[in-house]
Amino acid sequence: MKVKTILVSQPEPKVENSPYFELQNKLKVKVDFRTFIHVEGISAKEIRAQKIDLSKFSAIILTSRNSVDHFFRVAEEMRYKIPEDLKYFCQSEAVAFYLQRYVVYRKRKIYVGQKDFIDLAPLIKKYKDEAFLLVASDQLNADVPLTLNDLKINWTEGVFYKTVVSDLSDLKDVYYDILAFFSPSGIKSLLKNFPNFEQNTTRIAVFGTTTQKEALDSGLRVDIMAPSPGTPSMTGALEKYILEANKGK
């Protein structure tokens, strides 16, 4: 079956040189974007119900830009004056760079991991006497608490934001040749919005093994997988598949 249309379950890229736009122009396919899930903040009242007092922590662990936004949002809602000597442990350079929206970088104690959460472990271990607050979502990766528990440090998980299924009712009568997903939540959103969804000739593309597992467990057929040998990105996997599917058609 020839591929003419793709729906990517993420926000539309804001950069002109996005590989999705290059894919669209190169292969003459229509690529649309739609967020299947979105993030909502947990109120300061709900944070207090978790028995979290921001003043009790000397170090904050930030794993994403969302965690940065919602930590400072809650601090403001609680009218908590963040001390200048608070330590920030950021999972990656991207998170640390984003932190500059809220703090003067050179005047703060900021420690940066390479990419994965495990990369932060040696840095956290060096400051094991601190009281750590992990600013988390309601869907925390299982390896995070395991890593922190292994370090035998004083840490607390605070759920500051949650992942919510977006309303996709306007897509009810819209058909796409390929649906691309990047998280288990995206798959859940599809089936919650469209409980009678029948895959038929629609191809499902997934990124990551957890997304793949959710799709398969939900009875869906996975046609395109990324990363895979030779195609580390979703756009690479899509291009490879479309070139083959559209060959000679």
Q: Going from the N-terminus, what domains does the chain have, and what CATH number goes with each? A: 5-36+167-245 (3.40.50.10090), 40-163 (3.40.50.10090)
pTM of the model: 0.77
Q: 110 with 88: CB under 8 angstroms?
A: yes
42-49 average pLDDT score: 94
CA neighbor of 235 nearest in space, from 227, 244, 247: 227
Per-residue pLDDT band for 249 (boundaries 50, 70, 90) equals: low
Query: What SS3 class is residue 200?
Result: coil
What are the tens digits of pLDDT across the range 8-33?
Answer: 999 998 888 899 999 999 999 999 99
| pLDDT (tens digit per residue) in 147-197 | 999 999 999 999 999 999 999 988 887 899 999 999 999 999 999 999 999
Q: Which amino acid is residue 219, in one-letter code?
A: G
CA count, 13 A, side-chain hemisphere, 232: 0
Residue 60 in this model has a pLDDT that exceeds 70: yes
